[in-house]
Amino acid sequence: MRSLAMLLVTLSTYGAVDFEKDIKPIFEKNCYKCHGEKKQKAGVALYKKYLAFQEADAGEPVIIPHNMESILLEVIEEEDEDFRMPPKKALAHAEIELIKKWIKEGAVWPSDEKAPPEKLHWAYIKPEKKPLPKVSDKAWTKNFIDYHVMNKLEAEGLKPEERASSETLIRRLSFDLTGLPPSLALLDKYSKNLNDQNYEKLVDELLSQKTFGENWARHWLDLARYADSNGYQRDGFQTLWPYRDWVIKAFNEDKTYDQFTIEQLAGDLLENPSQDQLIATGFNRCNTLNLEAGTDIEEDRVKQVTERVNTMGTVWLGSSVSCAQCHNHKYDPFTIKEYYQFYSFFNNTPIEAEEVDEKSSTLRYAGNGLMLDVEGVDPNFYESSKLELNKLEKNYQGKLKELQNSKKNIKINEARKIHQKSFKKNVVLNNLWKQIEEHRKIVAKHTPVYVEVMKEMDTARNTRILRRGNFLDPDQQVKSAVPKFLNPMPAGAPENRLGLAQWLTTKDNPLTARVAVNRFWREFMGTGIYESLEDIGQQGEMPTNHNLLDALALDFMENNWSMKKLMKRIVMSSTYQQSSVVSDEKRAKDPFNRLYARGASCRLTAEAIRDNALAISLKLSPKMYGPTVRPVQPDNIWRVTGGVDNTYRTSKGEDMYRRGLYTIWRRSAHYPSFANFDAPNRSACTVKRSRSNTPMQALTLMNDPVYVDIAQHFAKRIQLLAKSDKERIQKAFRLCTSRHASDEEQEIMLDILNNGESSQYDKWFTLATTLLNLHETISRD
Amino acid sequence: MNRRNFLSAGALSLGALSFNNSLRADAQYVPGTHFPAKAKRVIFMHMVGGPSQLDLFDYKPELIKYDDKLAPDHMFKGKRLAFIKGHPKLMGTPYKFEQCGQSGQWISDRMPHLKKVADELCFVKSMCTEDFNHGPAQLAFHTGLNRNGNPGIGSWMSYALGSENKNLPPYVVMVSGKMPGAGSALWNNAFLPSVHQGVELRSTGDPILFLNNPNGMTKAHRSKIIAGINRLNQKKYDHVSDPEILTRMAQYDLAERMQSSVPEISDLSTEPEHIRKMYGNSQFARHCLLARRLVEKGVRFVELFNADWDHHLNLDKRLGSNCKEIDQAQTALIMDLKQRGLLEDTLVVWAGEFGRTPLKETRGGKNENGGRDHHKEAFTIWMAGGGVKKGTSYGATDELGYDVVDKKAHVRDLHATMMHLMGLDHEKVSFRFKGLDQRLTGVEESHIMKGIIA
């Protein structure tokens, strides 16, 4: 063996290295197992010239002619066995020398084979307008959606289902648009005659409800990873609810998707941004922040920036750009360099954590809070009132000390107790206390709210590629830019987040509209046109109806990115209005309804299940906006380790019964009934929730004190619905399912009622809880 | 298809994934092993905060020799440490170590009980991880990723193997003391279906959230209510034949069964007194006994979190009380599993999220004895049962216990090995998400620690 190598050296030292004779055998013997035709570890392939000379996963080629710092040389000469190549047995000295000489001479590799021309993945090519496809059943088609769907159905030999019943459609629309059940009045108004004209009227009516914005904000907040705490060990609270309110309003105003995007990604960079446009940037302050003592502040900052890039990639580009954080994307054309060019856009915001002092490693929030300008709130007045309040409290405590003849300082709460117990009639104390109470109210009213927003630093940070994503291993410097294989930045767009947002929302961007329409489509139709919602790239699923996807995307852009118009387009189609009831045979043919030959039947989301039950029992508060609320939850859920307040103060009055999206979202101690119904803890961007079906859900609906309370209220309501049991039953059933009960169902309910008496829970409770637990009650067909 | 046929077709486990769900038909994962398993279930004991390997298992006489001497430069210069600042001193263990059992495993006097089962244990002294803060390190130790967003190992096991007991959740979690820093994210199902989330067995209130009927409701009344719900659901099913409704009905039946099976299993009064005595009295002891009862009934993955092993200061006092709380119980668990023949195919793993430095940490407070900082370079865990070599020590650190010098084992190597023992190829247990076949062990290469497999 060794003698052969020696021989090679002897032969080759005198002439130029011959690839075929000298180098290829070394590669074959030592490298092909991992870098040959079958496997290309780390994106390194040494069996074809064009592959060996192209960029590997790490972002540069392993062989660079004439370059003695080529990575190939580095790894074969590495002394640390953990990093050396080949890993098990090092190359012989002579072999290394040969390879060195070969590279020095220019790595001559006689081969003409060129990389096959790259065919750009469909999703990276702009959608193009095409004529409507031909269909034979034109009577069914209401708009372009139906042409595309029918075209597929005819090709597959499937027939669409009948239009669903009026009541089913009213319920479907009501939940899909507002997230709430239709009232009996709405059912009565439309169920008798839901012709096309009335159907459209109903759609418009629902689209204009304020509850529409609440429903779609809920959906968007999953993408925005909106939560009320920082996550990780400290998991302290962050104020972002004004951002949540901004989202609700944006949907209600039908803010166009391009503007919606620009304000959230770069509202602060607009000219003279309004307060609302600043609040909108809360989108990128929703991500996690690690304030655990001892955290490396820069490491966590880098994590935050990458998280912002990755979320932008998922939400707008529908792409797993995060794969390129450590190496070139294995399947899609994103390079590591391009990743850090994206990163550069987000790399100029101030640090968010700081050490409390030099000695300790305790961290605190460094804040870039924006003090909200709220009508009727005067921060100056707040400051002066607070000073005044302090003075009053001191006087009060002092007076009490005097009365007690004591030298010990007394805390204000204790002082109050002593006052009430022993000096109830003391005029001075009473007066002081009255003033204290007044001032407390003033202070509470004028307490300014600071909301987290994005802010660009005056001096930009330099951005470097981070080798393998490691923040301690920076490589070459890069500038903000967008990937080469996608549309260029629009003319005149600035090289900052604003420019990036404009780039995302030009009509030349092949991804943004497709990714968005597919997400909306899934909420209405149950499954996406491609189901890998978070990945439209090479590894994603091919759309089951490519033309439909493109037509929707084009229509969305032609309508100037109006989200309401897009939704209306979808719900006006015959496709959407189909019945979800199918024969077993047809179900077997398309079990996941990927061709849309029926309507979708879906379990409601966690929040909608609770909102629905509250609405049925007449407990739902219509109050909108404002700080988060804390509905009843079992004891001992908040047990967070970090030095933050774990007291869960249940809200009072109607705040206990607000819509789910106002519930406090604590990342490390998720509201349990929502967690049980697949609501994410929102530590990361969530594109789609699963719709599982578990015993924990049954237990939640039967025993969660919230649902027991709701059932009790519903039980009372049922009795007031009518005079006869029969009528009560009918109405109660309709409140839960939006339809009339069949005779058989009525019989069962009467039977339940008549046998439902027990000591503590009367028959009405039995009936109420039964109805609230029905599969149909927590679904929309 | 009627309900009975549907159920007898065996299509239903504890929480069947929604039939109408969004997964592509071809992406449905079929649970099962890839090769014969050495272990069928896991008890994972997680000592939150990072217990000190140097005061428990990794005996370093050289470090004792240099106790209180200034540390050599390579141990802190250019190194990132969470809390230690300036030039730290070395800290030798103040405890007595001895070699135990026939295998001669080193165990310190902090864990006198554990010494008795030394011959059952397999120590891995060469663990390392990448994060030195609790939150990220705990996430990495459970999910393979140091950020939120991935499922933990218990969820992956539930997903990969399904359930052996239809009346109990496949993945049960118990917490003694404070919550771990990363919170319930450690047993969150993340992108896996929520059937695979860890279900917390709680010590106060309902043993499982919402398990108990509302105050005053009798079992008979609850039964009647469920029967009524299912009668109406059946009517709907008769009309629309949506299999999702059948699943829903089965889940109500199962919920009712859980209402008896969970209290039954949590009721320790049915255990003979000598067994209860064997485990001892702490909350952790209760959890260990519960863990045995759960695996006995076929629960796939039981995780016990025990809080407060983060001994930066006053290590002496605090380590002692922590050990007292767990030592007898953890030992009893091993012995009890063994006497029941369960140890053979139950994998027991004991670990923290990282270890502690050979460097002393002080913060200059009054009456304050030193402790140790977080250490990611090297730490020790132990395993027992389930196909692991008995009375073994695997890997080693240098003389001062700072770096691994032999058989370095990354957290993902541990994950791969645990999966291997459970009959799973960690590269094949995957879930399609964000354009990747996501795996517990991620995209980096992991190595099965063959040296610890019996």
ipTM of predicted assembly, 2 dp: 0.85
Q: Which two tokens stand for residue B97?
A: 């170590």
Q: Give tens-digit pLDDT for B98-142.
A: 999 999 999 999 999 999 999 999 999 999 999 999 999 999 999
Instruction: For residue A636, give the nearest of B18, B194, B205 by CB distance.
Output: B205
Query: What residue numbers bound the domain in which A327 lies?
Result: 228-369+455-509
Q: Which of A312, A255, A246, A249 is nearest to A565 (CA)?
A: A255
Whether residue A691 lies inside any domain: the answer is yes
Distances (CA, A) of B73 to A505, A750, B70: 54, 82, 9
Write the Ramachandran bin of B78: left for phi over 0, alpha for psi from -120 to 50, otherwise beta: left
Statement to judge: residues A437 and A463 lie in one domain: no
Interchain proximity B148–A755, CB inside 8 Å: no
pLDDT band at B367 (very low <50, low <70, confident <90, very high): low
Q: Are residues A619 and A744 in the same domain?
A: yes
The bridge status of strand B301-306 relative to strand B171-176 is: parallel
pLDDT computed for residue A664 by the predictor: 96
Count of A–B CB contacts within 8 Å? 290
A299 and A388 part of one domain: no
- Among A613, A663, A667, CA closest to A633: A663
Q: Using CB atoms, which residue from A234, A320, A593 is nearest to B434?
A: A320
pLDDT for A356: 87
Residues written for chain A:
781
A736 shares a domain with A609: yes
pLDDT digits (tens, 9 = 90+) for B215-249: 999 999 999 999 999 999 999 999 998 889 998 99
| Mean predicted lDDT score pLDDT of chain B | 90
For residue B7, name the pLDDT band (cuts at 50, 70, 90).
very low
A588 and A548 in a common domain: yes
Q: What is the mean pLDDT of residues B265-284?
A: 95
Are residues A420 and A439 in contact, defined by beta-carbon separation less than 8 angstroms?
no
Of A532, A703, A748, the CB nearest to B235: A748
Per-residue pLDDT for A641 more than 80? no
- Give the nearest partner residue to B183 out of A635, A640, A708, using CB atoms: A640
| CB-CB contact of B88 with B359 (8 Å) | yes
Among A168, A638, A692, pick the best mutation site for testing chain B contact (most B Cβ within 10 A). A692
Rounded-to-integer distance, Cα A226 and Cα A242, Å? 11
Please give the average per-residue pLDDT across A471-496, as a whole number.
Answer: 95
Taking a contact as any Cβ pair under 8 Å apart, which residues of chain B between 275 and 314 contact chain A? 307
Please list, in sequence order, all residues whose beta carbon lies within 8 angstroms of the beta carbon of residue A528, skipping any fewer than 6 positions away.
A518, A519, A521, A522, A688, B22
Number of domains into which chain A is organized: 5
Q: State the Cα–Cα distance between residues A587 and B181, nearest whole angstrom.
A: 46
Q: Over the stretch B308-341, which tens digit does the pLDDT of each residue have?
A: 999 998 888 899 999 999 999 999 999 999 999 9
Nearest to B147 among A303, A697, A755 (CB): A303
CA–CA separation, B121 and B133 (whole Å): 28
A residues 378-417 closer than 8 Å to B (CB): none
Residue A355 to chain B, least CA–CA distance (Å): 12
Provide the β-strand partners of residue B199.
B172
Q: Does residue B93 contact residue B114 with C-beta atoms inside 8 Å?
A: no
A165/A257 same-domain check: no
Q: Which residue has the tokens 């132990």?
A: B382
Residue ending a domain, among A83, A104, A125, is: A104
Q: Does position B270 have pLDDT exceeding 90, yes or no?
A: yes
Domain presence at residue A572: yes
Residue A223 placed within a domain: no
- The mean-pLDDT minimum among A79-93, A249-263, A339-353, A696-710 falls in A79-93
Confidence of residue A164 (pLDDT cuts 50, 70, 90): very high
Tokens of residue A285, six digits: 């302050």
Task: List, in sequence order, every residue forming a beta bridge with B313; answer none if it has no partner.
Answer: B370
Q: State the Cα–Cα distance between residues B361 and B89, nearest whole angstrom.
A: 8
Q: Which among B195, B210, B216 is the nearest to A759, CB-wise?
A: B216
Burial of A249 (0-12, 13-18, 19+ CB in 10 A): middle
Distance in Å, alpha carbon of B17 to nearest chain A alpha carbon: 5
What pLDDT shows up at residue A293?
86
Name residues whose C-beta falls within 8 Å of residue A430's C-beta, 6 or more positions apart in sequence: none
**Do A295 and B188 lie within an 8 Å CB cutoff?**
no
- Report pLDDT digits (tens) over B26-84: 346 789 999 999 999 999 999 999 999 999 999 999 999 999 999 999 999 888 888 88
Which DSSP letter does residue A180 get? S
Please list every residue in chain A whose beta carbon sits closer than 8 Å to the beta carbon of residue B149: 683-684
Q: How far is A361 from chain B (nearest CA, A)?
A: 6
pLDDT score of A511? 98
Token look-up 């302050």 returns: A285
User: What is the value of pTM for the model shown?
Assistant: 0.85
DSSP element (H, E) containing B419? helix B411-421
Domain boundary residue among A413, A447, A481?
A447
Eight-class DSSP state of B90 = B
Determine the distance in angstroms separating the CA of A399 from the nearest CA of chain B, rounded to an integer: 37
What distance in Å separates the CA atoms of residue A577 and residue A708, rounded to the nearest whole number?
A: 35
Q: Are A671 and A665 in contact (CB under 8 A)?
A: yes
A287, A594, A608: which is closest to A452 by C-alpha?
A: A287
Pick the residue from chain A with its C-alpha nearest to B445. Answer: A41
Q: What is the mean pLDDT of chain A?
A: 92
The answer to whether residue B434 neighbours chain A at the CB level (below 8 Å) is yes
Cross-strand bridge partners of residue B128 = B410
Q: Name the residue facing A744 among B85, B205, B235 (closest C-beta).
A: B235
Burial letters A310-346, b for 16+ CB under 10 A, else e: bbbbbbbbbbbbbbbbbbbbbbbbbbbbbbbbbbbbb
pLDDT at A11 over 70: no
Mean of pLDDT values over B436-452: 92
Could you say which DSSP state residue A700 is in?
Answer: H
Question: How far is the C-alpha of A163 from the C-alpha of A572, rounded, in Å?
Answer: 12
Q: Out of A635, A681, A688, whose CB is closest to B204?
A: A635
Give dist(CA A41, CA A56) in Å, integer.
Answer: 9
Contact flag A592-B374 (C-beta cutoff 8 Å): no
Report the alpha-carbon distance of residue A715 to residue A756 in Å, rounded.
12
Amino acid occupying residue B56: L
Residue A365 and residue A394 in one domain:
no
d(CA A546, CA A318): 16
**Interface with chain A: mutation pick from B434, B437, B446, B447, highest number of A CBs within 10 Å:** B434
CA-based nearest distance A234→chain B, Å:
7
- In this structure, is residue A575 part of a structural domain? yes
pLDDT over threshold 60, residue B24: no
A526 touches B at CB < 8 Å: yes
Within 8 A of B18 by CB-CB distance, chain A residues are 603, 690-693
Asked whether residue A124 is domain-assigned, the answer is no
**Candidates B169, B180, B209; nearest CB to A672:** B209
Query: Residue with structure tokens 């370093």?
Result: B60
Those residues whose C-beta lies under 8 Å from the C-beta of residue A739, and which sit 6 or more positions away, are: A165, A167, A168, A171, A733
Measured between CB atoms, does A214 come within 8 Å of chain B? no
CB A315 within 8 A of CB A276: no
The DSSP secondary structure of A670-681, one letter per residue, reads --HHHHHTT---
Q: Judge whether A117 lies within some domain.
A: no
The answer on A721 and A627 residing in a single domain is yes
- Contact of B166 with B258, CB cutoff 8 Å: no
Q: How many residues does chain B have?
A: 454
Please give, rounded to a whole number of angstroms, the shortest distance from the CA of A424 to a CA of chain B: 41
Restricting to B residues 15-34, those with a Cβ less than 8 Å away from any Cβ of A are: 15-25
- With contact defined as beta carbons under 8 Å apart, do B351 and B415 qualify? no
Domains of chain B, earliest start first: 39-223+281-452 (3.40.720)
Tokens of B22: 């969004």
B136 has a chain A CB within 8 A of its CB: yes
Query: Would the CA dihedral through A734, A740, A742, A743 be positive or negative?
Result: positive
Please tell me whether residues A610 and A709 are part of one structural domain.
yes
Statement: residue A392 has pLDDT above 50: yes
- Identify whether residues A663 and A765 lie together within a single domain: yes
CA dihedral B324, B328, B330, B332 (to 10 degrees): -170
Confidence at B366, pLDDT banded by 50, 70, 90: low
B231 inside 8 A of chain A by CB: yes
Return the percentage of chain A with pLDDT > 70, whole number: 98
Residues near A247 by beta carbon (within 8 Å), at least 6 away in sequence: A213, A217, A220, A221, A224, A226
Q: Which residues face A477 on adjacent strands? A: A464
Distance of alpha carbon A208 from alpha carbon B88, whole angstroms: 66
A614 and A597 share one domain? no
β B41-47/B301-306 pair status: parallel
Please count the CA atoms within 13 angstroms of the CA of A626 that sit on its side-chain side: 8
Q: What is the mean pLDDT of residues A283-297?
A: 92
Does A758 lie at the interface with B, CB-CB under 8 angstroms?
A: yes
Q: Identify whether A128 is part of a domain.
A: no
pLDDT at A645: 79
Do A555 and A631 share a domain, yes or no? Answer: no
Judged by a CB distance cut-off of 8 A, whether residue A22 touches chain B is no
* CB atoms B240 and A580 under 8 Å: yes
Question: CA-to-CA distance for A501 and A308, rounded, in angstroms?
Answer: 13
Q: What is the pLDDT of residue B2?
A: 40
Determine the distance in angstroms separating the CA of A555 from the nearest CA of chain B, rounded to an integer. 25
Amino acid making up residue A237: F
Domain boundary residue, one of A601, A618, A634: A601
- Count other Cβ atoms within 10 Å, centred on residue B222: 21
Asked whether residue A315 is assigned to any structural domain, the reply reads yes
CA A242 to mean position of chain CA atoms: 17
